[in-house]
Amino acid sequence: MTEQAKKHRVVVLGASTNPERYSNKAVKMLLEHGHEVVPIHPVAPEIEGLKVVPKLNQVTGKVDTLTLYVSPDTLTPMQADIIKLNPGRIIFNPGTENPPLMQELRQHGLKVVEACTLVLLRTGQF
């Protein structure tokens, strides 16, 4: 982690126990960059040694970044939970884009970014 980089608390919605999945790679890379990671998965008890939170609405405390790894259709019913979480920014990773939801989140004053968490981390833009 560079001196100017600050540690973020990052919620990974759709975190996976499968090391081949991008969401698992994101958890690992976020940890490697010194961030605090909160994985969300409905049934896995642990991912990469971290205790898993089963549902987004069970996350407490300040969240700097919410990074999304679930299908657009899965996200729509979570709109109220995302707004209530009030993260500093929401990263819609490739394949998660949901334009109506993104617009609604922006209208609630949330920062919405279409990007790849892995690329942002690798290029120092996270």
* Reported CATH class of domain 9-122: alpha beta
Q: Where are the domains of the chain?
A: 9-122
- Give dist(CA 90, CA 110) in Å, integer: 8
Name which of 118, 66, 78, 115 is nearest 94 in CA terms: 115
Interior/surface letters 24-36, b for 16+ CB within 10 angstroms, e for the rest:
bbbbebbeebebe
Tokens of 64: 């700097």
Which amino acid, one-letter code, is at 126? F
pLDDT in tens, 60-103: 999 999 999 999 999 999 999 999 999 999 999 999 999 999 99
> In the prediction, which pLDDT does 115 show?
98
Distance CA 45, CA 89 (A): 26
Contact assessment for residue 65 and residue 8, using Cβ atoms and an 8 Å cutoff: yes
pLDDT in tens, 20-48: 999 999 999 999 999 999 999 999 999 99
- Confidence category of residue 1, pLDDT binned at 50, 70, 90: very low
